[in-house]
Amino acid sequence: MNLDSKQMWTPAEIKTLRQRMGWSQAEMARSLKLELTTVTGWEAGRTLPKNEDCHGLVQILRQVENHSEKMRNRPLAEMMMRTQGLSQIHELEVAGIPEALSPRR
């Protein structure tokens, strides 16, 4: 499969890729060095990415895949702790200021 093919990128796939990165449309446009209207046009199906833009989308897709692979390889206990907001190091708060930041007496 040719990853740079325009046919690969449907509006839904572009939107899903952007959302997987946690980006707004403006952030995706900035990352690809494009105008916001270009990304909104892709997602609305008004326009298709140009060949050079497809290359940028493939690079973002690879970032997502690499991150997903790293997450799959993490120890299960670490992943569970992170998803539950737990940390191995606990900070106490004194009047809303973490102990590490509060002045020593």
Who contacts 11 (Cβ-Cβ below 8 Å, separation ≥6)?
42, 43, 44, 45
Q: Is residue 1 part of a domain?
A: no
Please report which confidence band the pLDDT of residue 41 belongs to, taking 50, 70 and 90 as the band edges.
very high
Each residue of 43-82: pLDDT tens digit? 999 999 998 999 999 999 888 888 777 666 666 666 666 6
CA geometry: angle 23, 24, 29, nearest 5 deg: 90
Residue-range definition of the domain harbouring residue 19:
6-98
**Mean pLDDT computed over 31-41:** 96
- Of the two residues 1 and 64, the one the predictor is more confident about is 64
Q: Is residue 72 part of a domain?
A: yes
Q: Is residue 86 part of a domain?
A: yes
Which contacts qualify for 73-77: CB closer than 8 Å, 24 or more apart? none
Q: Is residue 63 part of a domain?
A: yes
Q: Is residue 104 part of a domain?
A: no
In this structure, what CATH number is given to the domain that contains residue 49?
Answer: 1.10.260.40
Q: Which residues pair with 20 in a beta bridge?
A: none
Q: Is pTM, for the whole model, over 0.75? A: no
Domain count, the chain: 1
Q: Among residues of the chain, what percentage have pLDDT more than 70?
A: 59
Give residue 5's pLDDT: 46
